[in-house]
Amino acid sequence: MARGKNWAELFNGVAAVEITASGSGPTLCLRLEKKRGIPIQIVPEGTPEASVVAVKRVNELSFYSLGAKELAGKLRLSMPKAVAVVDDLGLRKDEDCYKEFKIGRSVHKRYSATALDRIREALKKETAEEIWARRQPRKNDRAVGVRRC
């Protein structure tokens, strides 16, 4: 223990954690359950007044498992309509929904299952076709083009 402090002082707020011995050696297994035991709350790193009990590493490429093509396929939309919905909802600004990975010289734009859920929820209120039509410039709004001979 750190300079005479017991574990309950080090992990303030989680003194109800039950520690049992299993096997031999300095091993600690921690099991967090949603429906049993003391209530826990998952918070972002650096949250003031929060005690860190455990850190779980997640393979980010597994979390952001969908490219635009896969996202569109799961939604049964064309890619342009799927991207229009993504842009309308601002999902690329939300780190729970979107992340870009640079691997070598390639940039991979990936979406999470959370993005898929949010899009499905949004499409209950407005169809992809309505979003697409609303986001398209009207004919009168388009700039007059110059034709080259």
pLDDT tens digit sequence for 48-105: 877 666 666 568 888 899 999 999 999 999 999 999 999 999 999 999 999 999 989 9
Per the CB < 8 A criterion, the answer to whether 135 and 83 are in contact is no
pLDDT value at position 43?
75
CA distances from 69 to 27, 77, 82 (A): 44, 9, 9
Reduced to 3 states, what is the DSSP secondary structure of residue 129? helix
Residue recorded with tokens 């455990």:
54
Greater pLDDT, 129 or 35: 129
pLDDT value at position 149?
47
Q: Is residue 123 pLDDT above 90, yes or no?
A: yes
Residues 20-45 have pLDDT tens digits of: 666 666 666 666 666 777 667 777 77
Report the phi/psi class of residue 37: left, alpha or beta, with left for phi > 0 and alpha for psi in -120 to 50: left
Reduced to 3 states, what is the DSSP secondary structure of residue 130? helix
Residue 92 sits at φ, ψ, to 5 deg, of -75, -10
Residue recorded with tokens 């299952």:
113
Q: Where are the domains of the chain?
A: 1-56, 60-136
Nearest to 86 by CA among 76, 98, 74: 98
pLDDT value at position 62?
86
